[in-house]
Every structure is written in structure tokens, then in C-alpha cells.
Structure 1
């Protein structure tokens, strides 16, 4: 079978896949995946907890059946229709809606906070308000033009409708004297007693219509209506920047779900992170959150979004408890007398008849905000595979080829089979490397597989001038070692594999893993110097850990070659010189240390600064290093006191994006432009050496891969 079309695509700019959604067995694999995760979510929910699942109409009935099985049909709260777009031209009936299926852990205990939406003249039912009370007390029917545009009315007018005052519940069958006539309910009973009816008449809340009395309900009695299960107002606006992710849910839809089903301080879990909208909304409304994804691209997007987000500062009832103590809500009116606060009086027939103060409704989406304060995202951690403790070399990181471990052996066999189905290794610039003849080695202690690199020119960057042609080493097989299924690649694994690969005269060593220790990255960097064989780290997408639910195809972006960040550390000060030159791969050019940006250096020899010089990526086809400047990476982070286990973001930089624009606008020019240039630059702010006297730099590449380099402060 020819794959010429795929190879041709490698010569064009490549669209990075954010996720894979091609299921091995189609709908069956998807429903299996969904059921497993719903079972886990059910166990994690508190008795008052809820779960929302967004789905299109195509599979709505299937997903509802699965949720009935997991949660029980008796715990279904409802199905919410969410309008996502306007009607598009289609061969058949176009779909403009998605659906939110809402189930409770226990419907009898579910937490529910009613949401309200301000009424408008265009709402369904607003046409019933066709009468007006003028400022002089005169009451009349509104004209057609006035019904269409309430702004035509005299200021101070009160719009009202005549509502029913009869119910089917006794007592309430008594005569009422009104304007010289006696009235009784034609059917049913009056909604209030004799005393209550007297108070309603005195308050001018009773009018006659034909042979029946009616209750006068003003539009301003409670200018809000409860939000039901049809949401036509939550779709994206026309601005492109609103949508960050292909399957992103609007923040307003998620906001309503959180406000209905949680309180400030509650914990929210989103098992499909995407662009991080759930975490973003939860952070805004004072909810704790956990978000998970099987792909690094959405996690990188979510991290950037959260790190650069700004929120209003809500007034807290109990600052000592934080958001868990609740927000402050107050009743406020504007100059027109309209309710604009978080507490709104709800005038009802009952409150007037019983001469009671009106009931107050709390609009949970209107807490009091403190002006002049810009809030940013609170501290959060970003977790992945956890490396073993320092000095622990007996863990799963060094179990590459012991066939006695049946679990690891099956993991290696499965990874080799996946590599055969998807033999393309992705490099920067839209290039790929094609592996062929992938097979386990005849005899091996550490190596997992061997293969040939296809030297076809179709795999090369068309701008490269291959004169002389690639080294003859490209004709020799390459060695592959596969890291553990659960855990990072260790330095011992790299060293043992490199020693064996060099002894068997392989041309190159590929180390494939889901995560890698910093020392293992250093070992790969120095493989050619120490073991006389170049090595490359290949990142495997984490969704492979989902088993065989997803389909592995040639076009799947499963394996990507990761580069190595190149940094320099220097004492802060105008005369600071780099004290440590990072190791360089053969053929790379010496980079001239760039001068620190204006405003980024101070005269303090006890402090240090870090500069990201660039990112080196080895091209296994040309056998050359391809370098990118530090200004050409999406993001990089600095930990000024790295302990070898947990990376703590002390400083964050986004050189290639406008990520800080939101914060810049929120602060309204309180800082000089050089500050924002620095936050989008490649040189850190000065810092003091920490207790561990070690720093770590983490670079995020275009595929969301995390590339870590560690330096000691000598």
C-alpha cells in the first residue's frame, strides 16, 4: 500500500492535533470509555453532588442510557438544550443545539441553587404585559407601538398585566364587594381570604375584567424569571478570540452549571480539560477545581489561560475562610430604580395580602465586587508522572527488558505494535521521520526494538541543501528503548540502553517514554560523548494509556521528537558572565550570550538570572541539530529552587504569544511597557539562590511537551 499522500503532507505546515477521537470500535469504544469514567465520577461525587455531560443529538439517547445504568434513571435531573450556533446551510436538517445531561448522585440530596434571568419585553409571555399605570395614577391599555417599544412610555410609568386570582384549593368561596358590584369566583376559590382581599383592594391590586376580578401584577414586582432547561443565550460571540479550542464549551454554559449545583469552596472535577474552561470558571467563582486530560496540548493551553487570567474580586462574608465562607450580596438600585444588586425583593400576591415584607431572592451570579482590585488565579499544581525519590534506582524506570515481568513485557509489545501502525516521528517545522522494519532485537538486555530510518527526501525539509548527502550512519539500523508504562524514563535506563546500542553498532538510540527525569535528559544529551552513540528522546502521547479504545493510524500524532532547552545562568548585574556553558551536541554553533533586556538586570552580585537561549532538536534524517531561538517557544517557566521532585513555577514567560494582554488591560497601564516586554522575553528577573541551590527551566513546545533542564548554582 502506498503512503505517498501522507509523505507529501510532511512538506507543508502541520496542524498539531490537540486530541485523538478516532475510536477503534467506533461508538462501542466511546461508550465503553464513557461508562468507565462515569463509574469513577459516581464514586467521587458527594451525596449532594451532580454531574453534567455535554453531547450532541446524534448520541444523546445512547449516553442517556449509559447514565441511567450508572446513576439510575431516578437520579436524572433533566436535559438542558444549549444553542451553540445559528442555523447553517445543510443538505438535511441542520443542528444548532447541544445537550447537557444532568444527573445527581442522589436526587433527594442534590444541591440546587435556582438561577434567575432578567425579563425583557422580548421574552415569551412579555406580550401579556399590555397595560400601563401612568405617573398620575391613570391606568389604560398600551398602544401597539408602546407594546413593541416600552421606551415610548412616559418615564415613571408602571407596566402591568391582569393575572388570575382564582385557584382550585378551598377555602375562598365568599362574596367580594368591588366598585359597587358583588363578585364570586365562577369556578374554584379566591387565592386569599377576606382580610387578604381587602388589603389587595386597598393596595389597588384588583381590577375587573368582564364578569371576573383580576390581580394586578406589575412587571417590576419581580423583573426576573427562573432559568429553565432551554439556554439560547450562551453561544460564542462572533469574535474569533473567544474560542481557544475546537470542542470548547462556552464559559457561560459552564458557569450556569456551577452556580446551580455548587457553592463557593466546593470542589469541581473536569475529566476532559480541553482549553480549561471549567477550571477557569471555577476559579472565577471561588470553587476549587481539578482538571484532567490525556493530551498535553489542551493542558498547555489551560495552564497558559489560567496563569494569565484576571477576575473580579468578590467581597467575602468571612475572609478568614476564603470563598468557602460565602460571598456578600446586597440590594442596590440604579438611578432608574431598577434592581442591580445581588438581592432582589420578590413582591407576590401573598406578601401583599398578608401585609408581609416581600421575600428576597438571591441572585448567586451577582456578588458584591470590590473595585480597584485585580484578582489573578490562585496557586495550583500541575501533576504528571511522578519521578521516584532521588537515589531510588530500583523502581520501574529500570526494567526495560526483563521478560519475567509479564506486565512490562506486554506493555513493550503493545508499544511496538503501535509504533508499527504509526511509524511517523514528529519534528518541529512540520517534518517527520519515518521508521520501517520495526521489530524486537534478536537478543537484548535493555533494548526494546530496532528499526530503519527511511532516508526518503520526502521526509526532509525542502529548504535543506543536502550536500554532502546524509551520513552513511543512516543506512544502519537504529535502536529503540521503551520506558515504563507508569513512571518516567530513568537515567539508568538510558545509560544501559546506550551502552548496549553502541556495543551492537546501532547508528542511533531512540528513547520513547511518557515522561522523563531531568537526569535522564542529561544522559541523553551526553550519550554521544560518553557512549559514542547519539540519542534522542521521543515523547509518546499520554492517551496511549487508555488502552486500545483509540484507533492508532498512520496519521495519528502519537510520537514526537523532543528538543533540549539551552539556557545560561549568570550573576545579576551589568558585568555578569555565564558561569556554566551547557553541553552542546556536535555540529551546533556556539551562541553569543545576548544582553539582558532593559529593566531585567540589577547591580546585585548575590542574585542570579536565567536566559533561555533556544531549543535544540536533533534531526535523525540529516543527522544535524536544528535550533530555535528562545523567542520562538510558546512558553517557558523557571523554578528558582528546584528540589528534584516538584517543579514550582516561580516565574512564567510567554515569548511567542500575547498571553499577558488580559492582565495588561486589567491593570490599565500601571506598569511600564518594559515590564510586559520582560514577561514575554527570554531573560528571568533576578532571584536569590534557594536552599537547594538548583534551578530548573521547563520549556513548553508546540505539541505541549514539557522539556526540562536542571542547573546547579555553583
Structure 2
């Protein structure tokens, strides 16, 4: 990776696997996109990135990086503002290429020599006087005792003062050589070792923000006379009266959804709230595809209308409303809208008069209908209710957001009750929502288990618990009122399902 691209470049890996490419790209300052079809591979990669620890490398565009660069090169660095731009690279170790030409052209060596000669020459003269010798610089022995015991040292006596002069001279001599060697290395041509940036061991780096996105798989349609009708049916909700051939994809998809719905049921946060259907039969409606029956807590049989969204597309608010009117006219007790994705405007649609509306998000595994074993044990249909959110006034005209929980449909009573925050894994706030894109400005983490303990174990280090507790909260920090007049709150459960709710402020 270091050999073929540069910091800040984008790395694409179409076969994610366990996420090695993404992990290495994160370590070496590259942006990355990785793709895979099995959700297991993506889950492994996500867990690997979230729990990884990386060395903190010194950025060239930082104060610490410039100080290290000046220390290594001996060149004064500019005192201009720094921005921490990773595209300017790290501060790397160097491999010098020393040549006779670089030594001969290095004027600093003469300066160093003259500086140390002013120190070493007086010491040499005093040492010659103390030992009654006439040593030149290159003749001063390294080990004074060995010289005294040899034939050249016979007749000479070294007292403590002479030994100190000898030690001081050699200390200065070694320091002069080290300074000259450093000057030669600085002036020599160097090769940057891009795989060995300088590391700040006082800091621990973790992975930057990233998202996990899912896309519905494409399909190939053969050129047949009935393909136009199939395309029109795929653009909207699947209807029970769609006049399509037996081989049409939409009809097969609808039958497959109903078969899995019959065996798996509709799951919610609590296992006791799972809706198990005793029977599912086709229904001759324009939007409602089937009639399902289930028992409440008193063993009274109730009827549920089943709306199936498109195999490749989003179920809209208007389609759910039309199906709800049809279900209300037919005296159904509840409408279960099944889809892979729901329109953002359908988030707060939970009831039409007395009719409760459940939006059951279908698991992408249903796209693999041919290979999927219908065991009834998977969370193929999951309902994630509307979040119970309160806007609280704060000091200085600011506001705060408090999440009380998520609304849950109780099949035993047919009512929607508010549950606590244990079913919420994380929730985010866009404090100035523009209705075009959701920007995470506040992030908070909840759940029945203590995420602080899990994070501490994953990173194998101590974390500022006081700072972390500001994130492990059901109440946001105060923030100014939005200039757009709107805020958005996104809530995510432990299954990875999310719901967005917009508030006017």
C-alpha cells in the first residue's frame, strides 16, 4: 500500500474478508471502501476496526511533527499555522547515503572542528605538562594505565589531576566526533523510510469514524413480453391481485416472504413481544397481500393485515397509508408492513385511527431465498418502534434532548407501550438538520450492558471515565437552537435497525 499510493488516497477492496485491507489503510492514513456479500465478513471487519489500536504517528503538519523534523534534519522549520493535514505525510525515519562529495562540501564540519579545538588544545597542553610528554592529538593513548605499563610510558607518573585531564580530553574528543558524524548524516542525501514513521508512544490511536452501508442486490430481467408489467409492479407495493405469470419474480418473492413470515413471526426487543402467526392466507386486496391470525395474551384470536414492500425499492408513507385505510375498512386489528427499507417520512406513522401500524424491517438474508433454510429461528422480520424523545429547555436559551425509550407493540393487549432505553444501542443528534443529509453532531451510547467496560477491554487501556460518561447517557449535552428550525434524532437498536425522527424547534 505504501508503495503504490500516498497518504489520504482512497483504497478500494471489493473482497473485504476479515477487513485486513481496511485495518491496514486505517493504520497508514488512507481512506478506504471495502465490499463483501456475506454479512458475517462485514461484521468481523467492523468488530476488528472498532477494537483495534494503532500507533500514533507524528504528522508533518503538526507542532510535534515539526519539532521532530527539526531535530532529525537540523533545519529550522517554518512557524506557520498547522492544520493537521494528513496528506502532508508523517515524519519518517531516514537512511543516509553518505558520499565523499557530501563530506567535502559540508562547511559545518570546519565550524565544529574549530569550536572543539578551542576546548581540546588547552587540555592537550596541560596533559603534556602533567605527564612530561609531547603528545600530538593522534598520539594520546585511549587507556592511560596500559600506556603507563608499556615501554613508552616508563618513567612517567600520572597523578589524579593528570588522569582527570586525560578523561576530559577524551570526553571532548568523542563528543566532537559524534557532532561531526551527525552533521555528515544531516548533510547527506537521505532516503525516507515510509514504513517507519516516528511514533508518539504517549498516545493511543483508534479507528476514525466509518459507516456500514447495505445495498439491495441487482437483478437481471430477461426480455419477455410481460417484463413491462413486472417492472411496474416492482416499482410499488406488491399487491395480491397483480396479474403476473407464475414465473414472475415478484410473485415468487411475495410467496417466499409469506412462507418465512409464517414460520419466523415478527420479532421485537423482548422475546415475549414476538408475534407468532397461527395462519397466513392470501387476501384479495389492492395493497394488502395476506391475512394473518395470531393470539393475544387472553388467547383471543386477532387479525393482522400483511403489506409486502417491493423486492428492490423503498416502501413509502403513501403506500403504508393506503394499505392502512384498506385494513381499517376490512376491520383488521393491526397492519404489519414488511419491507427492506422504509421512506424517512414514514417514521412517525404508527397508527391510523384505532389501527396499529407495525413497520417490520426484513433481513437482507431474504434476498438469498433459494439458499436460505426456513428454520423460523432467524430474526427475519424485526419491528423497531418510534423513539420516545423529549426536548428540554436549558440555560442561556439552549436546548437538550432526552430519550425515554422506544415504543413497542404489545400483542397481548394490542396497544403500543413505551419501553425503557435498554433496547437502544446508540443514538445520534443532528442539531441543525437541513432535511437533506443527517450529520452526526452528538453521539451517545446506551444499552443493558456497560459499553464502557467493553471498550476498556477492547482497547486494553484506561479510558477517562468521566469523559466517557458524557457519552453514556440518555440526555444530550446542551446545544444552541438550530438555525434551520429543525433537529433530527436517529436511534439504533442492538439488531442494527435504525429510525429517524425530526422535530421542529
Give the structure 2 partner of residue 619 of structure 1: 410
Match of 1:526 among 346, 351, 355: 351
CA contact (8 A) 1:296 1:541 kept: no
Structure 1 distance, partners of 2:363, 2:468, is: 33
1:639 aligns with 2:478: no
Structure 1 distance, partners of 2:503, 2:288, is: 29
1:314 aligns with 2:57: yes
Match of 1:426 among 267, 284, 297: 267
CA drift at 1:509: 0.7
Give the structure 2 partner of residue 369 of structure 1: 199
Change (3 A) 1:491 1:291: same
Structure 2 distance, partners of 1:398, 1:645, is: 23
Give the structure 2 partner of residue 685 of structure 1: 477
Change (3 A) 1:325 1:676: closer
1:609 aligns with 2:425: no
Indicate the structure with greater helix content: 2
Q: Secondary structure at the match of 1:545?
A: helix
Structure 2 distance, partners of 1:321, 1:548, is: 51
Give the structure 2 partner of residue 569 of structure 1: 391
RMSD: 4.2
Query: What are the ranges of 5 or more consecutive residues in structure 2 without an aligned counterpart?
Result: 62-81, 98-184, 217-231
Structure 1 distance, partners of 2:233, 2:486, is: 24
Q: Secondary structure at the match of 2:370?
A: coil
CA drift at 1:551: 3.1
Give the structure 1 partner of residue 11 of structure 2: 268
Structure 1 distance, partners of 2:235, 2:478, is: 36
What does residue range 195-274 of structure 1 map to in structure 2 within 5 Å?
A: 264-269=7-12
Once the two structures are superposed, residues 339-364 of structure 1 have per-residue CA deviations (whole angstroms, 9 ceiling, x without a partner) of xxxx599xxxxxxxxxxx99999765
Query: What are the ranges of 5 or more consecutive residues in structure 1 without an aligned counterpart?
Result: 1-257, 332-342, 346-356, 387-393, 456-465, 573-602
Structure 2 distance, partners of 1:604, 1:292, is: 46
Give the structure 2 partner of residue 330 of structure 1: 93
Give the structure 1 partner of residue 229 of structure 2: none
1:437 aligns with 2:228: no
Change (3 A) 1:665 1:690: farther
Once the two structures are superposed, residues 23-56 of structure 1 have per-residue CA deviations (whole angstroms, 9 ceiling, x without a partner) of xxxxxxxxxxxxxxxxxxxxxxxxxxxxxxxxxx
Give the structure 2 partner of residue 554 of structure 1: 376
Structure 2 distance, partners of 1:552, 1:262, is: 46
What does residue range 667-682 of structure 1 map to in structure 2 within 5 Å?
A: 669=464, 673-682=465-474
Equivalent pairs, count: 373
Structure 2 distance, partners of 1:273, 1:654, is: 27
Structure 2 distance, partners of 1:633, 1:315, is: 38
CA contact (8 A) 2:393 2:399 kept: yes
Change (3 A) 1:440 1:620: same
Structure 1 distance, partners of 2:351, 2:473, is: 28
CA contact (8 A) 1:418 1:552 kept: yes
TM-score calculated relative to the size of structure 1: 0.45
Q: Secondary structure at the match of 2:318?
A: helix
Structure 2 distance, partners of 1:429, 1:563, is: 12
Q: Secondary structure at the match of 1:426?
A: coil
Match of 2:305 among 460, 472, 479: 479
Larger Rg computed on CA atoms: 2
TM-score calculated relative to the size of structure 2: 0.62
Once the two structures are superposed, residues 57-87 of structure 1 have per-residue CA deviations (whole angstroms, 9 ceiling, x without a partner) of xxxxxxxxxxxxxxxxxxxxxxxxxxxxxxx
CA contact (8 A) 1:435 1:453 kept: yes
